[in-house]
Structure 1
Amino acid sequence: MVDLTTAEWTRREDLAQLVAALGAENLRWVGGAVRDTLLGMPVKDIDAATTHPPETVMARLDEAGIRYVPTGLDHGTLTAVLDGGPVEVTTLRKDVATDGRRATVAFAQDWQDDAARRDFTINALYAHPETLEISDYFGGLADLEARRVRFIGDAAERIREDHLRILRYYRFQARFGSTLDEEGEEGCAALAPTLKGLSRERVAMELLALLALPDPHETVERMHQRGVLPVILPETGSEGLERLAALIAAESAQGAAPDPIRRLAALLPAEPRTAQQVAARLRLSNAQRKRLSRLADRDGPPGDPHILAYREGMDAARDLLLLSGKSIAPLAGWQVPEFPLRGGTIVERGVGAGPEVARIMQAVERRWLEEGFPGESRVEQMLAEELSARD
C-alpha cells in the first residue's frame, strides 16, 4: 500500500491552517481520503473528525479567519471552505438509536466510538494530521491489503441500522473488492427485502453510483443471484445482465466513458413504458427520465451512424450504437451538419405556405441524408427536381 506521507494533499498549506485552528490532537483525517491514498487511488474529498463539539469548531474557525458552511449541524458536520477545496469536519459521534433509515446520534469523545458506528472497516481508518500515524480499530488495513469489503462488527446488525448499507456494500465491492466476505454477502441477501423501506432517491443514488464504476457487471450479476437486485430493479433478468456485460465490453473496446443511465438502459428491456415506470420509481431527473425512455425505444440495428446523430443528437447516437454493439468510430471528430434548406426558400419558389412546403422539405431532406449530406448546390438541385415533379 501507498505511504500517506507521499500524498500531496497531506502537505496542503490550507489543511495545516485548519489543523492549527482545531489542534492536531483534536482532529484526524478519516474515510475516503485515507483509504484511497493507501490504495494509490485519486483523492476527491477530504473529511476530518474532531473531538470538539460543533460550537467550538465554529468559534475556532472564526478566530482563525477560516470560512465555513453549517452543512449538517444536527449531525455535527460543517464544511470548512479552504483554498485547496472544501473539507467536511464532523464531531465524533456514537449511535443512540437506529431504525434502518436514519440514526439518532450523540456526540462522543472517543475515536473508537466514532469508528464503531461506521459501515466498513476500510472506512474507519483515522490518520493523525501531523504524524500521519493511522489508528485502525477494526482491521481495516488488513482488509485493504486483501481488497476485502467487511462490515464492522456483525454484518446483519450493521445493515439493520441502515438498510442502504446493502447497496453501499456492493458499490464498494465493485470498486475495491476482490476477496468476498461471506458474512457480508449472507447479511445482504437475508436483509435484501428491507431495501423496500428506503427512499427512492437514496436507492437511485447508490444504484447509479454503482453503474458508473468502470466494470460493475460481476457485482450486479451477484446482486441478482443473491436476490438484492430484484428488490430494487425487478425488471432486470438474465438478458439484461448479458446486455450490460456486452455494453461494458463495447465501451472498453471503443474508449467510451462509463455512463450509468446508458448502463441502466441495458439492464432494462427495450420497452419505453417500462423505462418510464423505472425512472418514475427511482425519482430520476426529467433529463434522465427522457434519456432512459429514448434509449429503451430501440428496435433493431440503429442504422447509419451519421443519420442517427443528425436525427437524435450526437450523445444519443453514441448511446444507441454502443447498446447495439456497433462502432462509434464514424462519429469521431464529425460535426452534425445543419440542413441547408428553409421553408421560406420553397415559398419563394411559388409554393403556397402549408402542408405542401413540409412535404417538399421532407422529400429533399430524405434525399440529402441518403446522399451523405451534400452541400448547398446539390440541395438546390434536389429542390429544383422536386418542384419540377409537381408540374
Structure 2
Amino acid sequence: MNTETMGAAPWMALPETQAVIAALEARGGPGCARFVGGCVRNTLMGKPIDDIDIATTLTPDAVIEALGAARLRSIPTGVDHGTVTALSGGHPYEITTLRRDVSTDGRRAVVAFTQDWDEDAQRRDFRFNALYADVRGRIYDPTGEGIGDAREGRVVFVGDAETRIREDYLRILRFFRFHAWYGRGEADHEALAACQALKDGIEGLPAERIQKELLKLLAADDPRPALRLMAATGILSAILPAVESLARLEGLITIESEQLFENDPELRLAALIPGDPEVAEQAADDLRLSNAQTERLVQAVGQSPRLVSWMSPRETRRVVYALGPKAFSDRVKLAWAGSDRSAATPQWRGLLALGESWTPPAFPLTGDEVLKAGVPKGPMVGQVMREVELWWIDQDFIEDRFSIIERLKAVVQGMVF
C-alpha cells in the first residue's frame, strides 16, 4: 500500500472533527478510523471540501456506542450497509464500517463487514475515491494509483471497469460526473468503452438516482466535455431522449462564464431540452423532478411570448409581468444562448438588468370593486377584471386610480348581463 503525507488540513484540525475521531479511537484504538474519499481527494487536488467521510474497522453498533460514550449524537442512516452519521458541533460526519461485497445486482449490494482496508478499497468506484488518510495527514493508497490520479485529473475505475459498473450501473453516470468535475485531458479509454458497452443497464436505475447524478454533473464549472462524451457514446440519449443538440447548452455555459453568472444546473438542463413545454414536462416526469423544478423547466423552454434582444422597456415590462421575474430571466438567458451572441450581448444584458430591477406591481382592482360597479356574482366578475387588467397592462401599468375605476365603469357599461 502506497503512503504519502498531505499534512493536517484545516478541516482535519476542527475540534468537532477531532472529537469524532477521538470517540472512535477510544473504542477501537489508534488507527481504527481514517478519513476517506472526497475529503482526501479534494485536499490533494486543492479543491473545497463539502463532506467529511470516515471509514472504520468498528461495526455500526460499536460506532453508535462509541459516539454515545463521547456524548455525540448518532443517526443510523444506513446501518445495514454499515453507515452511521455522527453529529458533532452541528456538523454531520458519515462513518462507514469497512465492507466487502457479497452480491450485487447492478442497483444495490449485499455487504459483509471486514477489518481489511484493501478489501474495502477494492469495492469502491474510482481509484482517487479509494484514498484514506489518518489524523496526521498520512495518506493510504491501496490501489497504488489514487494519489497520481487525483493530482493528474484522471478518473479511472478500481480494477476492471466493467466489473465495477456491473456492481452498480449508476457508476456510468458517476464516471461522467467525476470527469466533469475533476477530469483533465482525455477520458480513460477503458472506462469510456465499458460505459458505452453497458449503457443499457441505466434503464433499470431509479429515476431519482439518475436525476441526482445528472444535476450534479450539470453543476460543474464546465460540463461540456463530459456531455459531449455522453452524447457520442449514446449515454445522454439513454437518460434524456429529447436532447437533439448541445448547441444551446454550450452557448449558455459560455454566457455564464463571460458574464460571471453562477452555475445553474436546472437552467442548464432546460437548455438541453427543445423549445416545447410538452417535451419538457415529459423529461421532468422521466427524471422525477419536483413540482417546482418541473414548473421552472416547462416555463423556461416556452416560446410565447417571443423574446428578442431589441425589445423596448415597455414590451419588456409586459413580458416580465406575464412570466414573472424568474421565468423571464430564464427565458432571456436561453434566448441569448441560442442567438448570435457576438453582436447582441449589450442588448441581452440590458434586458436581464431591466427584469431584475423592475418589480411587477399587483393589479390594483378587487372583486369587491367589480361587484360594487354592478356586476353580478359569478364568472362575469373574473371576465370584467381580466378586461380591465388587459387595458391596465396596455397602459404600461398605470398608477392613476381614477383612470382605472373609469375604465372599469366603461367595461361594465359595454357588457350585457
Q: Same fold (TM over 0.5)?
A: yes
The residue aligned with 1:271 is 276
Determine the structure 2 residue equivalent to 1:10.
Answer: 12
After superposition, the Cα gap between the structure-2 partners of 1:342 and 1:84, relative to the gap in structure 1 and judged at 3 Å, is closer
Match status 1:321 vs 2:319:
no
How far apart, in 2, do the equivalents of 1:350 and 1:198 lie? 60
Deviation (angstroms), 1:356: 5.6
Deviation, 1:260, is: 2.7
Residue 22 of structure 1 corresponds to which residue in structure 2?
A: 24
Match of 2:110 among 96, 104, 107: 104
Partner-residue secondary structure (3-state), 1:324: helix
- Secondary structure, aligned partner of 1:183: helix
Structure 2 residue aligned with 1:134: 139
Using a 3 Å threshold, how does the CA distance of structure 1 residues 264 and 132 change in structure 2: closer, same or farther?
same
Aligned-partner residue type, residue 381 of structure 1: S
Cα deviation, residue 147, structure 1: 0.9
Which residue number in structure 2 is paired with residue 364 of structure 1? 388
2:239 corresponds in structure 1 to 232
Question: Do the aligned residues in 2 keep the contact of 1:364 with 1:379 (CA within 8 Å)?
Answer: no
Match of 1:242 in 2: 247
Which residue of 354, 357, 367 corresponds with 1:330? 354
1:374 aligns with 2:398: yes
- 1:153-232, aligned counterparts within 5 Å? 153-179=159-185, 180-232=187-239
- CA shift, 1:167, in A, is 0.1
Q: CA 1:360–1:197 in structure 2 vs 1: closer, same or farther (change >3 Å)?
A: closer
Distance 1:42 1:318 in 2: 29
Out of 246, 261, 264, the residue aligned to residue 266 of structure 2 is 261
TM-score (norm. length: structure 2): 0.85
Distance change (3 Å), C-alpha of 1:231 and 1:165:
same
> Which residue of structure 2 aligns with residue 340 of structure 1?
364
Which whole-Å deviations, capped at 9, do the CAs of 1:50-83 have from their partners, x for residues lacking one? 0111122122222221110111110111011110
Q: Is the 8 A contact 2:305 2:319 kept in 1?
A: no
Letter aligned with residue 61 of structure 1: L
Matches of 2:265 and 2:177, distance apart in 1:
13
User: Comparing 254-263 with 107-116, which one deviates more in the overlay?
Assistant: 254-263
Alpha-carbon spacing, 1:372–1:300, altered in 2? closer, same or farther (3 Å): closer
1-structure distance, mates of 2:316, 2:190:
48
* CA contact 1:364–1:383 (8 Å) conserved in 2: no
Contact 2:9 2:137 in 1 (8 A): no
Tell me how far apart the structure 2 counterparts of residues 357 and 54 of structure 1 sit (CA, whole Å): 65
- Any stretches of 5+ residues in structure 1 without a counterpart? none
> What SS does structure 2 have at the residue aligned with 1:345?
helix
> Match of 2:154?
148
In 2, Cα distance between equivalents of 1:371 and 1:4: 66
Q: Is 1:79 aligned to residue 85 of structure 2?
A: yes
2: distance between equivalents of 1:330 and 1:39?
40
Q: Does 1:309 align with 2:320?
A: yes
Shift in alpha-carbon separation, 1:344–1:251, aligned structure 2, 3 A? farther
Per-residue CA deviations over 1:145-199 (Å, capped at 9, x if unaligned) read 1111111111112111111100000000001111221111111111111111212
Moved over 6 A (4+): none
Matched residues in 1 for 2:128 and 2:90: separation?
A: 25
| Counterpart code for 1:10 | M
Q: Report the secondary structure of 2:88's partner residue.
A: coil
Aligned residue pairs total: 384
Paired residue type of 1:283: R
Q: Give the structure-1-normalised TM-score.
A: 0.91
Counterpart check, 1:288 vs 2:293: yes
Q: Distance in 1 between matches of 2:387 and 2:80?
A: 64
Aligned-pair identity (%): 43
Tell me how large the CA RMSD over aligned residues is: 2.2
Q: Which one-letter code corresponds to 2:31 in the other structure?
A: E
- Counterpart of 2:354, as a letter, is P
Change (3 A) 1:6 1:301: farther
Contact 1:305/1:321, CA 8 A, preserved across alignment: no
Change (3 A) 1:343 1:323: same
Which residue matches 1:32? 38
CA distances 1:272-305 after superposition (whole Å, capped 9, x unpaired):
2222222222222222223323333324623644
Paired residue type of 1:212: A
Equivalent residues of 2:6, 2:139 under 8 A apart: no
d(CA) in 1 for partners of 2:257, 2:361: 28
- Structure 2 unpaired stretches of 5+: 337-347
CA contact (8 A) 2:19 2:88 kept: no
Match of 1:297 among 298, 302, 315: 302
Q: In 1, distance between residues paired with 2:202 and 2:249?
A: 23
Paired residues of 1:270 and 1:299 also in contact (CA < 8 A)? no
Q: Secondary structure at the match of 1:49?
A: strand
Aligned counterparts, 1:86-125, within 5 A:
86-125=92-131
Matched position secondary structure for 1:8: coil
1:106/1:270 CA distance change after superposition, 3 Å: same
